[in-house]
A and B are shown apart, each in its own frame.
Chain A
């Protein structure tokens, strides 16, 4: 299959592994930003193949994992109201809130529907005009344009029964927060290819200058990942720190200008609490004033929500690369895919889920 097979070619993979071994004079620590990359690395056994050559630490790029419990609790409370349906992505269904997950709320009579695209949520609102639909908008720069499009579509259709609970987050401010931390061990960064496909990578120029770490925009297939690691290593060995595009087939330096425009028309940047990481300056998006009629956080009251209790989940340490999921004392014990303590164990991009699926049997 085109665009798949050539990036999983076993011979090319082995050549890249050999080249990586030849290039590294010592073991370097590289952070892959996106949970999709984490799953790719583990699924293909790249982390084990490169043991002792490169230490891969897993970044914050799992939007479901970083969504604060307050937002999840609020969304769950909405689906339990009479006449209100919450629409979201499948990843969200099993994520534990303070007292319930969506799936549990659903079995108690809450109305939760899953979609593949925010535009499907608009379609639901059109087809059932007597119900109110709230789209729970979670995701990085990859999903914000689609939500923006849904809001504009709802406006064009004059929908009164559609709103969006925005929990969108921005990846670069979170990376900056990680780099600022005293415990940071990151020597090089594999930037998330699909985020850069939307937002470009010009803004990483300043990032590399400030933190002196190489950044390679990297895709998700084994050849992409190995190539990103190799290019990062070459810079580290040469003592340089620049931005490189290792995902040329999808990413241009300026990103997707049409998508960026619609995002800018719809949202403004705001400080945002991230689950496990605290409030990150400029770390999120909120709807602009002119779209307030579609803002679920204005339309519905947050009163009488459960008080968020501190959880034992060490998602913050995992999402900032301080610990590997397997270093967490709860991993595989109290916290499993069936009984998760936190989102990283159940999200399709969660690092703990990746370890539970692809690594645990080997430890």
Chain B
């Protein structure tokens, strides 16, 4: 979610009188320039002046982290965000959970012929707002227009560069007794998108948790917390990450079902759809692993930051058992938590 402050003072792009994107917009002539000018206005900064072929970036003395992702989501807009803000926060958070302060972003837009310039303008404005929240700058980009049917409206690729601030030992160093935390309620983003895509009509509609995670990482760094591993729980949800970590360290991840934070809306929707919130994606929530002696400090620090003020402990790393990830359910029995296989599907009954 974006704060009102971030959305204020954000110039809207101006595409002249063009209502729809045509192939000519991508062919390098006058229309291309007009489109580009319109798109650049809201994200303008010193690196884009004169539109050089490449951005020249000041290199710090430390290490850089580089990450890329492509965004093809349907629907393009959903409660709490859209493909534009997703393309920014998704990449910014990949940098943040790598321990890097997100700095610079590239954007590649693939636009389907006939796409509405009004919607494109909204997406660019959304990108501009998200970039401010994430503390990043768009420093280079590319736009292509493809014939109708060759893409679904708008695809975005973004690549980000960040400065490494908090080097992480990584999930392969997790050991027995380490604790697992989440920084907020889980499953919000996946449910918001699913409900919007399938017009499920939940009231209230679940809203994506999409936001920048960097402030939480920065707070952990500033307090000197010895974080062992961090991941934003995107596709595959918390379960997906824990399976990867279990694999990396050859241990078992144990969760307490009662301590997993889930909003009423997401819980109700998941019950209705036969989904497990642990399998549903987040976009502004991460899993953090810390040594046991750091738990209370880590939680205290995380709770001072808005994005992670609902941080809780959800489980721990145990010696290797038969199942890589297990949840203690109501009877006290440890039950294996399966690895998500593909997207959650609507059930029959």
Query: Given A1-B271, A338-B341, A45–B348 Cβ distance below 8 Å?
Result: no
Q: Is the C-beta of A199 less than 8 angstroms from some C-beta in chain B?
A: no
Is the Cβ of B338 less than 8 Å from the Cβ of A357? Answer: yes
Interface centre among B200, B324, B335 (most CB of A within 10 A): B335
How many chain B residues have a CB neighbour from A under 8 Å? 28
Q: Is the C-beta of B61 less than 8 angstroms from some C-beta in chain A?
A: no
Q: Identify the closest chain B residue to A348 (Cβ).
A: B347
Is the Cβ of B331 less than 8 Å from the Cβ of A10? Answer: yes
Q: Identify the closest chain A residue to B341 (Cβ).
A: A337
Tell me the bound Cα distance from A362 to B198 in angstroms: 36
Q: Identify the closest chain B residue to A34 (Cβ).
A: B349
Inter-chain contacts of B341 with A (CB < 8 A): 337-338
Is the Cβ of A14 less than 8 Å from the Cβ of B332? Answer: yes
Q: Is the C-beta of B322 less than 8 angstroms from some C-beta in chain A?
A: yes
Is the Cβ of A362 less than 8 Å from the Cβ of B346? Answer: no
Q: Is the C-beta of B168 less than 8 angstroms from some C-beta in chain A?
A: no
Query: Given A4-B271, A362-B336, A91–B330 Cβ distance below 8 Å?
Result: no
Q: Is the C-beta of A8 less than 8 angstroms from some C-beta in chain B?
A: yes
Is the Cβ of B336 less than 8 Å from the Cβ of A10? Answer: no
Q: Is the C-beta of A63 less than 8 angstroms from some C-beta in chain B?
A: yes
Q: Identify the closest chain B residue to A50 (Cβ).
A: B331
Inter-chain contacts of B333 with A (CB < 8 A): 44-46, 48-49
Q: Is the C-beta of A17 less than 8 angstroms from some C-beta in chain B?
A: yes
Is the Cβ of B349 less than 8 Å from the Cβ of A361? Answer: no
Is the Cβ of B336 less than 8 Å from the Cβ of A358? Answer: yes
Inter-chain contacts of A194 with B (CB < 8 A): 349
Tell me the bound Cα distance from A8 to B331 in angstroms: 8
B173, chain A: closest CB distance, angstroms: 24
A33-59 vs B, CB cutoff 8 Å, 1 = contact: the mask equals 000100000111110110000000000
Q: Identify the closest chain B residue to A42 (Cβ).
A: B335
Instruction: Kindly identify which residue among A4, A45, A140, A347 contacts B335, using a CB–CB cutoff of 8 Å.
Output: A45
Q: Is the C-beta of A222 less than 8 angstroms from some C-beta in chain B?
A: yes
Q: Identify the closest chain B residue to A4 (Cβ).
A: B271
B273, chain A: closest CB distance, angstroms: 8
Is the Cβ of A91 less than 8 Å from the Cβ of B347? Answer: yes
Interface centre among A10, A42, A44, A361 (most CB of B within 10 A): A361
A169, chain B: closest CB distance, angstroms: 12
Tell me the bound Cα distance from A91 to B344 in angstroms: 10
Query: Given A1-B271, A116-B346, A348-B274, A358–B330 Cβ distance below 8 Å?
Result: no
Q: Is the C-beta of A32 less than 8 angstroms from some C-beta in chain B?
A: no
Tell me the bound Cα distance from A114 to B329 in angstroms: 31
Q: Is the C-beta of B334 less than 8 angstroms from some C-beta in chain A?
A: yes
Q: Identify the closest chain A residue to B325 (Cβ).
A: A361
Q: Identify the closest chain B residue to A138 (Cβ).
A: B348
Q: Is the C-beta of B267 less than 8 angstroms from some C-beta in chain A?
A: yes
Query: Given A44-B330, A116-B200, A90–B323 Cβ distance below 8 Å?
Result: no
Interface centre among A91, A92, A347 (most CB of B within 10 A): A91
A137-173 vs B, CB cutoff 8 Å, 1 = contact: the mask equals 0111011000000000000000000000000000000
Tell me the bound Cα distance from A43 to B329 in angstroms: 8
Tell me the bound Cα distance from A1 to B267 in angstroms: 8
A60, chain B: closest CB distance, angstroms: 15
Tell me the bound Cα distance from A9 to B331 in angstroms: 8
Tell me the bound Cα distance from A9 to B258 in angstroms: 11
Is the Cβ of B322 less than 8 Å from the Cβ of A89? Answer: no
B185, chain A: closest CB distance, angstroms: 14
List B residues 194-208 near A (Cβ within 8 Å): 198, 200
List A residues 181-208 near B (Cβ within 8 Å): 194
Known pairs A358-B335, A358-B338. 17 more at Cβ < 8 A?
A: A1-B264, A1-B268, A1-B271, A10-B331, A17-B331, A43-B329, A43-B335, A44-B330, A44-B331, A46-B331, A89-B346, A114-B345, A116-B198, A194-B349, A222-B331, A361-B323, A363-B322
10 chain-A/chain-B pairs, Cβ below 8 angstroms: A4-B267, A17-B331, A36-B349, A43-B335, A45-B331, A116-B346, A139-B348, A142-B349, A348-B274, A361-B336
On A, residues with C-beta under 8 Å from B are 1, 4, 8-10, 13-14, 17, 36, 42-46, 48-49, 63-64, 89-93, 114-116, 138-140, 142-143, 194, 222, 337-338, 347-349, 356-363
